[in-house]
Amino acid sequence: MIDLTGKAALVTGGSRGIGRAIAHRLATQGADIAFSYRGNEAAAKEATGEIEGLGRRAIAIQADVSDAEAAEGVVKGALDAFGKVDILVNNAGITRDDLIMRMSIEAFREVLETNLFGAFYMTKAVTRPMLKAKGGRIVNITSVSGQAGQMGQANYSSAKAGLIGLTKATARELASRSITCNAVAPGFVLTELTSSLSEALQAELIARTPLARFGAAEEIASAVAFLASDEAAFITGQVLAVDGGLVMM
């Protein structure tokens, strides 16, 4: 039984999609939740209400984690609210898909700055309080695109592959203080984004997945909850693929 009672978790991009499912799952397991969101205030209020409905404390912090100062502000907000951050989940991410020959420099840079730089800024900001506490869990949400590459996603694949490197480097640096850092690599997950794809494309994606279905955001959240728990205390620097067998390495 995963028990996060008394823990304080911080999830970036926690108002919608996979991030919202992660925040909800960690709260279900007993953690108080702080989460960042970029701009959808209505979704943030809904997510906060759901968490509070579980009897947990919740705060939503509007911020763009691609800005280093804003990322520091998110961590400060969580520390001010809960006095500590036991769990950090770097989930915030964007896409700007296009073929390399057509991709703008801005589109490449924006994705790297949010998906990779943002995770670095958040990790850097949370390192000192975790070191002081002599413990912590960091979970980065990477992707099958970062493991195998994806056509039309040079920016996204680069960012997610970089996140795997960041995960391993962080794990080595912080291990001596009982801080673990792992990554979860989702495959094709049913979210607002994928549900809007054509039936033909959805069928193609399912055909490429050995388990022959989309994943659910809750299944990604379950993996995160495990890695954030005491049950995973001897696991660090690992990438857990939750992809229905799409990428086997």
CA–CA separation, 150 vs 156, rounded Å?
8
Tell me the H-state helices in the chain: 17-28, 41-53, 68-82, 105-112, 118-133, 144-148, 154-174, 192-195, 199-207, 217-227
Quick one: which of 125, 21, 108 has its CA closest to 70?
Answer: 125
CA–CA separation, 117 vs 154, rounded Å?
16
Residue 28: strand, helix, or coil: helix
Single-letter residue type at 239: V
> Of 82, 121, 156, 214, which one is the catalytic site residue?
156
CA–CA distance from 3 to each of 10, 29, 97, 115 (Å)?
A: 16, 5, 39, 29
Residue 156 annotated in active site:
yes
Pairing of strands 8-11, 32-37: parallel
CA–CA separation, 139 vs 238, rounded Å?
10
The answer to whether the CB of 233 falls within 8 A of the CB of 134 is no
Q: Which sequence positions are flagged as catalytic? A: 156
